[in-house]
């Protein structure tokens, strides 16, 4: 026999168009994951006794029912009435309560909530505490009014932002359309969301805006915008209008978002047969501003915003170069792309919209140096907005810097062309590009593009990398990649790539080697040499192109740390500090001259903090390998007449590219940002004291 819980589980699998994970079944049925496994086993026993195909396990995806089993279950009537017996999970109850309270024009009583949810008063009260916390985080409050029930107090704009998000979850994540019919306000809204005329009209308007503004919309983004338009229609019908400051309206009118929003508002006006006020148009323009764009365009901003953000981005790039000791060769292009990339961050922070799709922990774990340098330079955005930039947003910006660090054009060695297809925008695409180019020798990503662009363009590449599992191609192989690659991901990608291309690559490389050897030597055993070369090439076909980044203690050692009393001037200090790197062959003499020329041309920018200077120049100025040396001066040397430009510590950095030195430099930056440790280094009496602090 099947109990209600297992009928509910079968109902979910019958309705699902794709495999359902164990975690989702656990959440939706309201049981533990172990209980899910037990229930599936019993449900399979029941299906087998009825001659039905069993629930299948799709590795890495979840559980699904074969089509024939679904048809038999629907015809049998065993799922009939499952709506009435559906038990909401706690997560689903919270979403339903929140949506109903935000939509309702009158107080909602505890009696209605317990009756419709079919749970106890204590359970509803506990769920309402969750709702209260959510609302507090969004600058709203849950209050019990006039002994009649609960209402949400707060700004209409904040209500709509939160409402759209939870309506999306109810409709698309939890798929609860039929189960919420008994909730008056929420039931009506779900009915509106299912109307084909509303969906068709508003999806068309979103597509027009997407094209005209160059937005990078995922399917989720598109659905959220459609929901926003339908919510707007319903709120206008009820007389609940958005309130936008007049000064902000005048600023929004200067942007291309306002004209796109006006077309959307006209569609809403026709749908509700009512006038849409200017505040509502501006509210829509604000929503559009929060989405990523494929490119920078001046019309996306008001004149003042454009001027201010250009300055912020310029300062961020300048600081990143100084702090990370890197040079972006195509800086203008970087700043244009970063301006487009940072736009949604700017508007999310301006309008207090949280960024929920975050990979901040992955960025911190896999690219701590890039994240830390980004965290430092976002202070310019913080100063402009007069608020702190959350870690999630800093990680989002770090994606862009990280992707750009190795974006210089390849001139030789390219054997395979690739494209990266990603639904999440510029930053994620460039980060994926960087990682796979670093991972696979001879691979060059010729283009990154959004999913929608991929579907409409002719593709010319040897291979496609994508973070979207829906991306396929009839002729070109596709490899799935996450935004941040773990070691397991890298091993899998290397194996897949090797399986696709290793044989043809090995054959080509062996032929080239045989030709070269034949030009300079007589080959006695042609076939034997070919076999030996093939085995040699296979072992090194795919591997990391770059070695591990050295740590600070690998570079600053007893051989590269010096102590002297004083130098005659800053030029002599740089020359003296460079001697260990000249002796060990890390740099050539012209590199020392280049460092001195930089200070003469640009001023004392190398004094990163009072007491410490970091002379460096470009890799092509005479760097043989990555290196670092430290000169400790008992008597500080002056790089200008200002006291803040005096230094006791001269640390010479020799970088071979934009990346190899970053870990050591990030460690040095952390060390010197600690005033106690910096003071201890300046007060040190010997190289051993310095090395002890470093270690």
Q: Is residue 691 within 8 Å of residue 350, measured between CB atoms?
A: no
Q: What are phi and psi of 446, to 5 degrees?
A: -85, -20
Which pLDDT belongs to residue 427?
A: 60
Q: Which residues pair with 563 in a beta bridge?
A: 632
For 365-385, what is the HEC assignment? HHCHHHHHHHHHHCHHHHHHH
Burial (CB < 10 A; 0-12, 13-18, 19+), residue 15, is: middle
Task: Give mean pLDDT in consecutive 10-residue pieces for the chain, a chain of 695 residues.
Answer: 76 85 81 84 88 88 90 78 59 92 92 86 92 88 90 91 89 80 88 90 91 80 90 90 87 89 93 90 88 67 84 94 87 86 82 68 85 94 91 87 65 69 69 81 81 74 85 87 79 78 66 86 89 69 55 94 95 96 95 95 90 93 95 95 94 92 90 90 94 92
Which pLDDT belongs to residue 543?
A: 43
Which pLDDT belongs to residue 408?
A: 46
Which pLDDT belongs to residue 503?
A: 59
Tokens of 143: 């209050």
Q: Is residue 511 within 8 Å of residue 587, measured between CB atoms?
A: no
CA 60 centroid distance within chain? 22
CA dihedral (367, 373, 375, 376) in degrees, to 10, reads 170
Query: Which helix H or strand E contains 316, and what residues bound it?
Result: helix 303-324
Q: What are phi and psi of 437, to 5 degrees?
A: -70, -35
Q: Which residues pair with 62 in a beta bridge?
A: 58
Which pLDDT belongs to residue 546?
A: 45
Of 498, 467, 463, which Cα lies nearest the Cα of 484?
A: 467
**Three-class DSSP category at 302:** coil
Of 86, 90, 92, which Cα lies nearest the Cα of 170?
A: 92
Other beta carbons within 10 angstroms of residue 62's beta carbon come to 18
Q: Is 229 left (phi over 0), alpha (psi -120 to 50) or beta?
A: alpha
Cα Rg, the chain, nearest whole Å? 31
Which pLDDT belongs to residue 534?
A: 75
CA atoms of 479 and 497, how far apart (whole Å): 8
Q: Is 575 left (phi over 0), alpha (psi -120 to 50) or beta?
A: alpha
> What DSSP string describes 79-137?
TTTTTTTPPPPHHHHHHHHHHHHHH-SS-B-HHHHHHHHTS-HHHHHHHHHHHHHHHHH
Which pLDDT belongs to residue 220?
A: 78
Burial (CB < 10 A; 0-12, 13-18, 19+), residue 566, is: exposed
DSSP conformational letter for 518: H
Residue 392, C-beta contacts closer than 8 angstroms, at least 6 positions apart: 354, 355, 358, 360
Name residue, tokens 């803040």: 644
């Amino acid at each position: 026999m099947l109990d209600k819980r297992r009928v509910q589980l079968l109902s979910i699998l019958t309705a699902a168009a794709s495999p359902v994970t164990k975690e989702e079944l656990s959440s939706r049925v309201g049981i533990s994951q172990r209980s899910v496994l037990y229930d599936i086993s019993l449900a399979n026993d029941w299906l087998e006794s009825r001659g039905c195909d069993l629930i299948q396990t799709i590795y890495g995806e979840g559980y699904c029912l074969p089509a024939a089993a679904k048809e038999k279950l629907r015809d049998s009537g065993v799922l009939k009435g499952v709506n009435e017996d559906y038990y909401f999970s706690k997560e689903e109850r919270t979403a339903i309560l929140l949506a109903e309270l935000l939509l309702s024009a009158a107080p909602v009583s505890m009696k209605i909530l317990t009756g419709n949810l079919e749970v106890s008063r204590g359970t509803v009260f506990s769920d309402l505490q969750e709702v209260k916390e959510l609302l507090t985080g969004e600058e709203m409050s849950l209050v019990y009014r006039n002994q009649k029930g609960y209402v949400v107090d707060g700004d209409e704009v904040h209500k709509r932002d939160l409402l759209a998000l939870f309506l999306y979850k109810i409709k698309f994540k939890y798929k609860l359309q039929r189960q919420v019919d008994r909730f008056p306000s929420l039931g009506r809204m779900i009915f509106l969301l299912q109307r084909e005329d509303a969906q068709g009209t508003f999806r068309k308007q979103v597509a027009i805006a997407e094209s005209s503004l160059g937005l990078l919309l995922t399917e989720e983004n598109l659905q959220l915008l459609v929901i926003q338009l339908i919510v707007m229609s319903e709120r206008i019908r009820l007389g609940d209008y958005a309130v936008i400051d007049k000064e902000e309206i005048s600023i929004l009118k200067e942007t291309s978002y306002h004209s796109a929003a006006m077309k959307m508002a006209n569609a809403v006006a026709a749908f509700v047969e009512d006038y849409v006020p200017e505040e509502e148009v501006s509210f829509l323009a604000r929503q559009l501003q929060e989405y990523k764009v494929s490119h920078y365009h001046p019309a996306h901003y008001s004149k003042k915003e454009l001027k201010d953000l250009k300055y912020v981005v310029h300062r961020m790039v300048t600081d990143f170069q100084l702090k990370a000791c890197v040079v972006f060769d195509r800086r203008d292009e970087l700043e244009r792309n970063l301006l487009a990339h940072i736009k949604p961050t700017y508007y999310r922070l301006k309008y207090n919209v949280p960024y929920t799709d975050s990979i901040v922990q992955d960025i911190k774990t896999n690219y701590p140096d890039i994240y830390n340098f980004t965290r430092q330079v976002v202070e310019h955005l913080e100063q402009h907005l007069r608020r702190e930039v959350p870690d999630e947003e800093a990680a989002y910006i770090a994606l862009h810097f990280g992707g750009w660090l190795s974006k210089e054009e390849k001139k030789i060695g390219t054997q395979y062309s690739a494209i990266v297809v990603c639904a999440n925008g510029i930053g994620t695409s460039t980060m994926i590009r960087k990682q796979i180019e670093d991972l696979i020798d001879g691979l060059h990503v010729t283009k990154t593009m959004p999913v929608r662009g991929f579907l409409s363009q002719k593709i010319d590449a040897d291979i496609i990398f994508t973070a979207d599992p829906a991306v396929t191609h009839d002729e070109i192989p596709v490899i799935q990649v996450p935004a941040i690659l773990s070691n397991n991901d890298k091993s899998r990608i290397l194996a897949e790539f090797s399986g696709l291309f290793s044989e043809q690559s090995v054959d080509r490389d062996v032929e080239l080697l045989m030709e070269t050897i034949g030009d300079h030597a007589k080959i006695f055993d042609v076939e034997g040499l070919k076999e030996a070369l093939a085995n040699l090439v296979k072992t090194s076909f795919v591997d990391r192109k770059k070695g591990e980044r050295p740590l600070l203690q690998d570079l600053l050692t007893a051989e590269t740390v010096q102590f002297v009393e004083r130098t005659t001037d800053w030029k002599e200090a740089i020359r003296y500090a460079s001697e260990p790197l000249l002796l060990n062959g890390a740099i050539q003499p012209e590199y020392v001259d280049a460092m001195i020329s930089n200070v003469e041309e640009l001023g004392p920018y190398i004094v990163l903090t009072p007491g410490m200077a970091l002379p460096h120049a470009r890799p092509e100025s005479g760097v043989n390998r990555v290196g670092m040396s430290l000169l400790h001066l008992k008597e500080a040397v002056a790089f200008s007449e200002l006291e803040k430009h005096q230094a006791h510590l001269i640390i010479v950095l020799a970088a071979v590219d934009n990346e190899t030195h970053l870990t050591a430099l990030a460690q040095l930056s952390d060390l010197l940002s600690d005033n106690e440790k910096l003071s201890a280094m300046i007060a040190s009496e010997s190289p051993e004291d310095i090395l002890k602090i470093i270690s």
